[in-house]
Structure 1
Amino acid sequence: MTSPWDAGLQPERAELAWRRTVLAVTAGTVVAARYLGQSHPVLGLLLPVLALGGGLVLLGVGTVRFRRLDARLRAAGRETSDAVAPGGAALGVLAAMSLLIAVTSAVFVVVTALRQ
């Protein structure tokens, strides 16, 4: 075997999995932010826009990283020591978006329960 990966195309699968994760978290964050800003019109518009912006940034960072990894794998063969996982900053943003979903969902459930 002369290539650093088999016919399964692991870098491409990893990139697609990263995209699916970012898109799911972005969609959840937009919905959660929309509920959070329901009582405040400015927050209701600003928070989803920020969530969409964060999602686009994460998609861009993930795409660039995995394309760079693919190019390095092709150039270096099996002798590469670069990290395969996304950087800590991208994972931190993804974690913050997930936390926003959780907090907003909890607030929405509690407020809805108290109103009834």
Structure 2
Amino acid sequence: MSTEHHWPEHTWDRGVQIERTKLAWQRTALSATGCSLVIARFVGVHSIPAGIALGLLAVIGGIAVGTGASRRYRRTVRALHRSESIPDGRVFALMTGLLLITGLCALILLLVA
């Protein structure tokens, strides 16, 4: 008796990897936004305008990464169904930028405080 599975030809994503990736990016965006807001609160103790600017940047960046991940998910599903190339990694670059800004602000906070 064989344990081999025969999947229908129309099944292109047996493990729902794309859905898990989208959810992982949304969790990452949420946690990065939360971390950025905490750092913005500490920066705001020393400089209110800098704290507000970082807080706004964190919220806007988190929303952009979350919506970018959802948009990339939809485009990837369409591309896979049409046997086309999957989309580029702009969302990854946006998240890297958000984390870089957060890290720099935390470093500045440590050096100033």
Structure number with bigger Rg:
2
Identity %: 28
Residue identity matched to 1:4 = W
| Greater length-normalized contact order (CA 8 Å, ≥ 6 residues apart) | 1
Count of residues in correspondence between the two structures: 105
* 1:1-116 equivalent positions in 2, closer than 5 A: 1=7, 2=9, 3-6=11-14, 8-73=15-80, 75-76=81-82, 79-83=83-87, 87-88=89-90, 90-112=91-113
CA offsets 1:82-111 (integer angstroms, 9 cap, x no match): 24xx523x2222112212222222233333
CA contact (8 A) 2:22 2:69 kept: yes
Q: Which runs of 5+ in 2 are unaligned?
A: 1-6
Q: Which runs of 5+ in 1 are unaligned?
A: none
Supply the RMSD in Å over aligned alpha carbons.
2.0
- TM norm structure 1: 0.75
Give the superposition deviation at 1:67. 1.4
